[in-house]
A and B are shown apart, each in its own frame.
Chain A
Amino acid sequence: SSELTQDPAVSVALGQTVRITCQGDSLRGFYGAWYQQKPGQAPILLLYSKTNRPSGIPDRFSGSSSGNTASLTITGAQAEDEADYYCNSRDRSRHLVFGTGTKVTVL
């Protein structure tokens, strides 16, 4: 199945903005989704179909997409946003694939 590549780690100052990217061929045809995972917890869905947020997800989380790259932006990062973030998409064989994950540190 296709691969999705993310930067291993990024840091952001409290209250500032950070963008996390996810690159892969499958993103040319599909928008994908984003998940947040805190230590010892299951992932939770943050965004799907580029810009849709499930109920309860703060609007400081937003998504965009261009070519083979999907992006997750956290505007006004909070201390509780410190977590691992994974992108996810499907390929044309309807196989799911996860990104390599990005660890976000809030300074």
Chain B
Amino acid sequence: QVQLQESGPGLVKPSETVSLTCTVSGDSIASHFWAWIRQPPGKGLEWIGYIYYSGNTNYNPPLESRVHISIDTSKNQFSLKFNSVTAADTAVYYCARGAEDYGDYYLDYWGQGTLVTVSS
């Protein structure tokens, strides 16, 4: 069974960088693509970006200047770095496995999510 688990600090100061890691079990990270999504408290889902095994990435344009996603195939992990954070970046951050079906993309397995609070 595929499982994803986010890890990282729960509290970050404004202007700092959030670093989160997603550890994948039950599947090789060499398959599919791997995504980060966030959800501010009481609000909807926002796609951040995704990465392929090859290292190719695709980011949400409004966030692209502050985001970097990387992959570590030896550890079956992928990571998110999000810099210059403000209170508006406070959210639950999810990692997910992406899949493709005749050109359609969907996210079939999700981590439980980790709350990141930006506060001084």
Contacts and interface: CB of A to CB of B under 8 A. Distances in A.
Interface stretch (A11-19, A26-34, A73-81): A26-34
Contact of B45 (A93, A94, A101): A101
Interface stretch (B18-26, B74-82, B109-117): B109-117
A15 B104 CA distance: 31
Contacts of B65: none
Chain B residues touching A, range = 20 to 34
A29 B104 CA distance: 9
Contact of B60 (A1, A42, A45, A88): A1
Interface string B79-120: 000000000000000100001011111111111110000000
Interface string B41-70: 000111100100000001011000000000
A77 B101 CA distance: 28
B35 interface: yes
B107 A94 contact: no
A45 B58 contact: no
A98 B106 contact: no
A32 to B, nearest CB: 7
Chain A residues touching B, range = 20 to 34
Interface centre among A30, A31, A96 (most CB of B within 10 A): A96
Contact of A98 (B44, B103, B109, B110): B44
A21 to B, nearest CB: 16
A106 interface: no
18 contacts: A1-B47, A1-B61, A32-B104, A33-B106, A33-B107, A37-B45, A41-B112, A42-B111, A42-B113, A45-B107, A88-B45, A88-B105, A95-B47, A96-B50, A97-B47, A98-B46, A99-B44, A101-B44
Interface of B: 35, 37, 44-47, 50, 58, 60-61, 94, 99, 101-113
Interface of A: 1, 29-33, 35, 37, 41-45, 48-49, 52, 54, 86, 88-90, 93-101
